[in-house]
């Protein structure tokens, strides 16, 4: 088991756009295992490769209470199936300590590949739909703070920069 360091806002590496996964070999399995370990240890419900400084289109999610239902999405794409927005208090392992309401479409259909490279489709609503959209945003270099007012975003940036200076 290996834990990977998680990048924190405003690290510019969180702004990179990830490239599609093309190699479904053993290296991918190791990366997925390490991302799951890192997500569970950090008590997150999702983790995108971008957050651990790997700029490939891959994310892991587990929204179960028991933490025994990992979902792995490789090269994910989604379409909105219900435009109606739902508000959710989002947090992010890359923006530790901050939670703010974000509105996103309430139901989506995701197409992705599994670790073996097999394509699958899945409909998601509720928290799973929120989480998948949040993670795919990471792969595109976006963060939930981008949906907030510039003032709120700047306050969060300043507080985190101050903490990073303290621990540096």
Tell me which of ligand GNR, Ni ion, none is bound by residue 90, counting a contact when its beta carbon lies within the kind-specific cut-off of 5 to 8 angstroms: ligand GNR
Window of 27-35, 46-54, 64-72, 111-119 that interacts with ligand GNR by CB under 6 A = 46-54
Window of 20-28, 29-37, 85-93, 150-158 that interacts with ligand GNR by CB under 6 A = 85-93
Distance CA(44)–CA(92), nearest Å, equals 8
Q: What CA–CA distances, in Å, run from 27 to 57, 69, 107, 112?
A: 14, 22, 33, 19
DSSP-based three-state secondary structure for 22: coil
Tokens for 46, please give them. Answer: 């999702």
Residue nearest to ligand GNR (CB): 44
Q: Determine if 35 is a binding residue for ligand GNR (CB under 6 A).
A: no
Q: Determine if 90 is a binding residue for ligand GNR (CB under 6 A).
A: yes
Tokens for 13, please give them. Answer: 């590496």
Positions annotated as catalytic residues are: 135
């Amino acid at each position: 088991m290996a834990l990977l360091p998680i990048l924190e806002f405003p690290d510019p590496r969180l702004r990179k756009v990830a490239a599609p996964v093309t190699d479904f070999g053993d290296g991918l399995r190791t990366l997925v295992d390490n991302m799951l370990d890192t997500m569970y240890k950090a008590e997150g419900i999702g983790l995108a490769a971008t957050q651990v400084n790997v700029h490939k289109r891959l994310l892991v999610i587990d929204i179960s209470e028991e933490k025994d239902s990992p979902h792995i999405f490789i090269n994910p794409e989604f379409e909105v199936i219900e435009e109606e927005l739902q508000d959710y208090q989002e947090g992010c392992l890359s923006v530790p300590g901050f939670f703010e309401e974000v509105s996103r479409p309430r139901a989506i259909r995701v197409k992705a590949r599994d670790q073996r490279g097999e394509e699958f489709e899945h409909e998601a609503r509720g928290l799973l739909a929120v989480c998948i959209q949040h993670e795919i945003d990471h792969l595109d270099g976006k963060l939930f703070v981008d949906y907030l007012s510039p003032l709120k975003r700047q306050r969060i940036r300043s507080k985190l920069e101050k903490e990073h200076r303290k621990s540096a």
